[in-house]
Amino acid sequence: MKSNKLKGLYFIIDKLTNSIENTSTGEVFDTEIIQLTIKDIKQINKSDWQFDWAKEIKDGGKSVYKLTTINNPGIIQGLLSIEDKQDHIFMHLIESSKFNKGNRKMYYGIPGNLVAFACKVSVDKGYDGFLAFDAKTTLIKHYQQSLGATHFRGLRMFIETSAALKLISQYFKS
């Protein structure tokens, strides 16, 4: 059975794009991010994902979102689990689809797109873009450099207003 008890998130910001970008052609595809419900669990093939996304969807305190391309909404490019903490958004899980990981990934920009969306949710809720998450120790510097995140203490990191707005403007033009 796959463990969901990893300490700290492990995701690589491969490239900040303005959507998602095909790694071989450079073609950019418009995306949409939609909240998943319990009815949508069948869209997630457990063997294609590291985390137990059905468990995340069933957790009433969390909201799970899927990233798809507008032209192909049936294929999930990435998933995100966040929680509203009443003054900021906390990112519990983030994962690119199996075919968007490693050296042979199909698209760049999946994690950046999802993090920008979490920041946008924070802005929309009146939290000024504040997003918190726990990072693997080895990736703290990576998130500081790629996302403008701030290391708080331990594994905890946060993205504050100016960095959040920069990410949001990168991915969400309207």
- Domain assignment present for 107: yes
Q: pLDDT of 104-113, one tens digit each?
A: 999 999 999 9
Task: Return the closest-CA partner of residue 63 out of 43, 33, 87.
Answer: 33
Residue 27: domain span = 20-171
- Domain assignment present for 9: no
Which position has the token pair 């997003």? 131
100's tokens: 């968007």
- Domain assignment present for 8: no
Q: pLDDT of 5-63, one tens digit each?
A: 457 777 878 778 888 999 999 999 999 999 998 888 888 988 889 999 999 999 999 99
CATH number at residue 71: 3.40.630.30
- Domain count within the chain: 1
Distance spanning both ends of the chain, measured CA to CA: 42
- Domain assignment present for 102: yes
- Domain assignment present for 39: yes
- Domain assignment present for 15: no
| Beta strand segments in 60-110, E | 63-69, 78-84, 89-96, 107-108
pTM, 2 dp? 0.92
- With contact defined as beta carbons under 8 Å apart, do 135 and 8 qualify? yes
- Domain assignment present for 6: no
